[in-house]
Chains A and B, each alone.
Chain A
């Protein structure tokens, strides 16, 4: 374990929200979290435990009030706002509960989008997008618009999109939350496949203890603190 590279290194992350001057609300009370390269980690916790806030900070959509955060060797605290969009583009692949595919844009174009912002050239971009859609089993529906796809299919396109720029981590926020259990199973299998075959580092945020159990490590949050870190049954998958 010690030789493995740290991808995410969070130290004493505190996040406070100010709702009017006197009423500050501390959501994260000092989180320490390390995620190593190739790890599949689940973050679980009840609503209001600070999961989403933690995910926003890891995803560099938000900044902590204090603490240290390094992502794949980059000091995210010192990074300027203008640099963060590039970091998100290159190092983080988001998968959302609500898919968030761009409407009226077909699956292929959706997968190409992060590469577009990365300045990848046209032909290469399309090739890579096709490759990724094949990886998630969507090769037959590349020209379909999001409104023509089922929830599970949309989520698979979203996973392909998250993989577009070969990011250091995939950050999945309740990816199966809006899916029925069999479709959810299918989506989870894709994450396992990416983890196993491509060695992707995946951070999964979920409500579901069963899904969390399938990962390498389960981190439980409660009231803005990490209350337990234990091994999952990750090896089984």
Chain B
């Protein structure tokens, strides 16, 4: 044990004596470990963020949307193959789902469905009055949307049946709109008419409800690109009227709590098959929130693994660097090795000395790498997600152990070479 601490002391001394060399030697290890840790930290933060956000939208949600068909190779009379064709296919109005289809679907599975949320984008625009204005994304929604999207109203009410049937110009806005346009006074906002510009047209909407804006899963993108823009909801029928179409590209189903969302997603897919049998362009795809979350996590896992493998290669290169510098160090210290042997150091303790030195180099590199990795990863996670970083404790300890293992592995050969030196030649070495 005495000897062990003496070796650690010696290793630290020789690092201190050659600071620049030690740093360069460690660089490979530092880069390798810090990238592993940074990736793990970002990946961890991202997947816990996503899982949290996605499941806050409802784990019992089933998404139904138009999907472009995978192409079968098709040969025309001229013999050209048209594999590429459908990749550029546009989804036309004919491909979209009609309200009739969705009503049929809702009737068929009435026992399984709590709500259906349909959303139809009208466009992005601005609410303005005088010099004040705020951006909004105008979306036509059904009553079910509030349930499937987990939206609670802060004040006011949802659209009435009459408003929906009559395609009235009413809207539900976010608290941000109220803050900007009405100085945060909900009472003043409710019932007010706001002038809204959507592309080149102007519309007047009466505010009937206010919801609290929260940065949701989809909000990450809009937050980064649009700043203050929030959703403004209008009745679905109003949106249909404004768009001159009542087709639907996707909708969300909130399944009853006792329904297995995965199985129900399959049923849903099957339901729409007859409608699209003759459509070469598109089909209806359906998946559950649960499977979506699972897919995202496994994708993230694959990505993390792939990048870790690359970082592993950096570590390998770093390890070879350590081995190289240990060989140089041993050559430089040949006389010292000879002296130690003359003083009675057994081969095993010479070997230990240099292995400890390699391990100390790698461990210090590993610790620096972990600090940089956690710092960088947390910074990235914080900037990107505005959520607390989530460094993986297991990967930190794993990296530390791994870097030490690199030290043992790549230090063994040089150390063994030192241990086997002939003391007479070593003492004579100039």
Contacts and interface: CB of A to CB of B under 8 A. Distances in A.
A105 B424 contact: no
Contacts of B397: none
Interface of A: 56, 59, 61-62, 82, 85-90, 92, 94, 96, 98, 100-105, 113-114, 116-119, 121-122, 161, 165
Contact of A85 (B339, B345, B424): B345
Contacts of A59: 342
Contacts of B336: 100, 102-103
B13 A105 contact: yes
A114 B17 contact: no
Given A89-B345, A117-B349, 18 more contacts: A61-B427, A82-B347, A85-B346, A88-B344, A90-B344, A94-B342, A96-B339, A98-B335, A100-B427, A101-B339, A104-B17, A113-B340, A116-B2, A116-B3, A116-B6, A117-B3, A121-B2, A165-B344
Contact of A117 (B10, B13, B344, B424): B344
Most buried by B among A85, A96, A98, A102: A85
A61 B13 contact: no
Contacts of A96: 339, 342, 427
Q: How large is the interface on B (under 10, 10 to 19, 20 to 34, 35 or more residues)?
A: 20 to 34
Interface in B310-360: 335-336, 338-347, 349
Contacts of B424: 56, 61-62
B15 to A, nearest CB: 11
B56 interface: no
Contacts of A89: 343-345
A100 B335 contact: yes
Contacts of B17: 104
A89 B3 CA distance: 15
B423 interface: yes
Contacts of A62: 424
A152 B200 CA distance: 97
6 contacts: A61-B342, A62-B424, A88-B341, A94-B342, A94-B343, A103-B336
Contact of A104 (B2, B14, B343): B14
Contact of B344 (A82, A86, A100, A101): A86
Contacts of A122: 2
Nearest to A171: B342
A161 B342 contact: no
Given A100-B335, A104-B17, A116-B2, A85 B344 contact: yes
Contacts of B340: 102, 113, 117
B2 A119 contact: yes
B418 to A, nearest CB: 14
Nearest to A113: B343
Closest A-B pairs by Cβ, 8 of them = A89-B344, A100-B339, A85-B346, A88-B344, A114-B343, A94-B342, A61-B423, A117-B344
Contacts of B342: 59, 61, 88, 94, 96, 100
Contacts of B10: 105
B46 to A, nearest CB: 47
B339 A117 contact: no
Nearest to B16: A104
A54 B13 CA distance: 36
A98 B428 CA distance: 10
Nearest to B335: A100
A117 B342 CA distance: 11
Most buried by A among B338, B340, B347: B340
Contacts of A102: 336, 339-340
Contacts of A121: 2
Interface in B1-36: 2-3, 6, 10, 13-14, 17
Nearest to B426: A61
Nearest to B13: A104
B339 A114 contact: no
Contacts of B13: 104-105
Nearest to B3: A116
Contacts of A90: 344
A86 B427 contact: no
A86 B427 CA distance: 18
A35 B345 CA distance: 26
Contacts of A88: 341-344
Contacts of B6: 116
A117 to B, nearest CB: 5
A106 B194 CA distance: 84
B299 to A, nearest CB: 52
A122 B84 CA distance: 79
A139 B241 CA distance: 102
Nearest to B338: A100
A118 B344 contact: yes
Given A102-B336, A105-B13, A161 B2 contact: no
A117 B424 CA distance: 19
Contacts of B341: 61, 85, 88
Contacts of B343: 88-89, 94, 113-114, 117, 161
A101 B338 CA distance: 11
B5 to A, nearest CB: 9
A82 B350 CA distance: 13
